[in-house]
Amino acid sequence: MDVQSFFEQAKTTLKLTQSTPLQSAYQFGSDPDKLAQLVLTGTKTATTSAYDLYETDEPLPKVGAYDVILDAHNQPVCVTRTDQVMITPYLDIDATHAYLEGEGDRTYAYWRRVHDAFFKQEYQSEHQRFDPHTAQMVLERFHVVYPVH
């Protein structure tokens, strides 16, 4: 099913107005299928993105907005609603946020190891250098609203 049809079904089920906008549709990280399932089960309720890599025309996430989470084949898995958005230095991200990201053993050490490698690659793909001492990050918290369990 395409993203827009999936979101239309969600709006009907959730009794949202037809004018309710879709903020975005996206895949998570290096293993979209696994991470989408963590979101669907409520294990993953947070994510981190590089503020430094947002384009000037790319809006930051907004509290109250709806997103469609996609699998590795760009198929919709669920709709989330954004609960919190915060911009913070990379090195200020704490164990609570790491736990809420729901990955691996959910420890800060695991989160840091995986995200150091992920952001190094992300910055390189944009011809920039990832410096954990200066990097600014966008932290989001969200919850699944569709499908309803």
pLDDT at 131 over 90: yes
Q: Is the pLDDT at 135 greater than 70, yes or no?
A: yes
Does the structure show a pLDDT above 90 at 70?
yes
Chain centroid to Cα 33, Å, comes to 13
pLDDT of residue 32: 94
- For the chain, the three-class secondary structure string (H helix, E strand, C coil) is CCHHHHHHHHHHHHCCCCCCCEEEEECCCCCHHHHHHHHHCCCCCEEEEEHHHCCCCCCCCCCCCEEEEECCCCCEEEEEEEEEEEEEEHHHCCHHHHHHCCCCCCCHHHHHHHHHHHHHHHHHHCCCCCCCCCCEEEEEEEEEEECCC
Strands 136-146 vs 76-89: parallel, antiparallel or unpaired:
antiparallel
Q: How confident is the model at residue 149 (pLDDT cuts 50, 70, 90)?
A: low
Q: Count of CB atoms within 10 A of residue 109's CB? A: 11
The answer, yes or no, to whether residue 50 has pLDDT greater than 90, is yes
Structural domains for the chain = 3-146 (3.10.400.10)
Does residue 57 carry a pLDDT above 80?
no
The arithmetic mean of pLDDT across residues 42-56, rounded, is 92
Question: Do residues 140 and 66 lie in contact, with contact meaning Cβ atoms separated by under 8 Å?
Answer: no
pTM for the model = 0.91
Q: Looking at residue 58, what is its pLDDT?
A: 77
Place of tokens 């993105």: 49
Q: How many CB atoms lie within 10 A of CB 58?
A: 8
